[in-house]
Amino acid sequence: MRFPDGSPSQPGRPQRGGSKTERPAAPRPQPDLLIADLGGTNLRIARRDGRGRTVLLGRFASHEIEDLPDLLRRVWLKAAGRVPAALAIAVAGPIDHGAGQARLTNHPALAISSAAIARALGLRGIAMVNDLAAQAMGLALGAGGTREMVAPGTPDDEAPRLLIGLGTGFGTALILPGRGGLPQVVPAEGGHVTLAAETAAEWAVIEAARPLPGTAGVNDHVSAEDLVSGHGLPRLAAAVAAVRGLAPVQGEAEAVTEAALAGDAGAREAFELFSGWAGAVAGDLAIATGARGGVVLSGDLLHRLGGLFDRRRAAARFRAKGRFSAYLANVPLELAPAGDDLAFAGLTGIADAVAAREAGPVFD
């Protein structure tokens, strides 16, 4: 038995010489947490157990999920057999916190309700956050290894930091400066800003992309995500091929990558545009949000592209902002390490906070 401050209720046995010692306290078990990362391509479900270990419980194709609450319940109970202390789930799309609902931007047929998930698992409440907000929380909590410097600089510690996730889509989140408690993270939808052309060649590609099947938006709107993302790469390559009168590459991002590596002229030009636009949009968003604390690119997509992601081109376009180039002159642009699981680190921090706040599960 222990007092509320954690001290033993019984003193240690006296040793020879009359001195008293206390037995070393056993480490307190950590809350058993369920964390889930629902992206545009996959759902990953994991457990942070009482020993502090994070164990992946399963990976599922997002487009095949029919009943998310039931899936989470079945996977969790099979692994743990009891109600979790708390749950945090990240969703690749905007969150309606008032209604407790969300939809995947690139799979809107799947409805996500925090209340339904809480009922299925017997919890009073859960934390449902945007996927980039989870990654930004992980970054703010110090997760990850050494980042690659794309454009060197010295961050302003009193200014916001911007995280850009380039994967299936193009997500953004802002980390606000502050001290004490959980960091403040503001999720945003920066990938859906209108993609701007700086040259006649870029404008021609944007115009060619407007009528292509799959380009999302209203009134032929072409956003950054429509061309600068995993699912945007095939559209970008097709638009380049249309402008150049070349045969388009058939297939998804992997096929475009393979074609570029094999020397396909249209695919290689698509990656030049991709790299330049990635840097240009990052710079635009940094100016718009005042992110002089630095900009971090995350997501394994850029690492899978290897040399096809032209870092020099991205860095040059990041800072090429006319009379406001000086504003970004010392702002670093970095690339998070491959396999750096910022999302799980952030979700664990969020779920820990939920576990500390909630009185406990509805049933046990």
236-254 per-position pLDDT tens digit:
999 999 999 999 999 999 9
Residues 250 and 352 in one domain: no
- In-domain check, residue 22: no
Residues 119 and 242 in one domain: no
- Across the range 84-104, mean pLDDT stands at 93
- In-domain check, residue 9: no
- Across the range 227-231, mean pLDDT stands at 95
Residues 62 and 207 in one domain: no
Residues 70 and 92 in one domain: yes
CATH for 128: 3.30.420.40
- Across the range 285-296, mean pLDDT stands at 97
- In-domain check, residue 364: no
The predicted structure's pLDDT at residue 25: 63
The predicted structure's pLDDT at residue 28: 77
Q: Give the lowest-confidence range in 56-70, 96-110, 252-266, 306-320.
A: 96-110
Residues 263 and 211 in one domain: yes
Residues 241 and 277 in one domain: yes
Residues 96 and 156 in one domain: no
Question: Of residues 211 and 150, which shows the higher confidence score?
Answer: 150
CATH for 300: 3.40.367.20
- Boundaries of domain holding 66: 33-136+342-357
Residues 181 and 152 in one domain: yes
- In-domain check, residue 24: no
- Across the range 327-334, mean pLDDT stands at 97
pLDDT of 164 > 90? The answer is yes
> How many domains does one find in the chain?
2
Q: Which of 300, 321, 295 is nearest to 152 (CA)?
A: 295
> pTM for the complete prediction?
0.85
Per-residue pLDDT band for 317 (boundaries 50, 70, 90) equals very high
Yes or no: say if 314 and 273 are a contact pair by the CB < 8 Å rule: no
- In-domain check, residue 26: no
Q: Which of 80, 126, 58, 44 is nearest to 341 (CA)?
A: 44
The predicted structure's pLDDT at residue 125: 74
Q: Longest Cα pair distance anywhere in the chain, in angstroms?
A: 94
Residues 161 and 186 in one domain: yes
> How far, in Å, are 10, 31, 39, 262 from residue 245 at the CA level?
84, 59, 35, 19
Q: Where are the alpha helices (DSSP H) in 130-230?
A: 131-140, 200-209, 224-227
Model confidence pLDDT, tens digit, residues 19-45: 555 666 666 788 999 999 999 889 999
The predicted structure's pLDDT at residue 26: 60
Residues 163 and 77 in one domain: no
Mean pLDDT (the chain) is 88
- In-domain check, residue 3: no
- In-domain check, residue 155: yes
The predicted structure's pLDDT at residue 221: 86
SS3 state of residue 339: coil
The predicted structure's pLDDT at residue 36: 97
Yes or no: say if 183 and 176 are a contact pair by the CB < 8 Å rule: yes
- Across the range 78-91, mean pLDDT stands at 94
Residues 196 and 278 in one domain: yes
- Across the range 277-281, mean pLDDT stands at 98
- In-domain check, residue 10: no
Residues 280 and 225 in one domain: yes
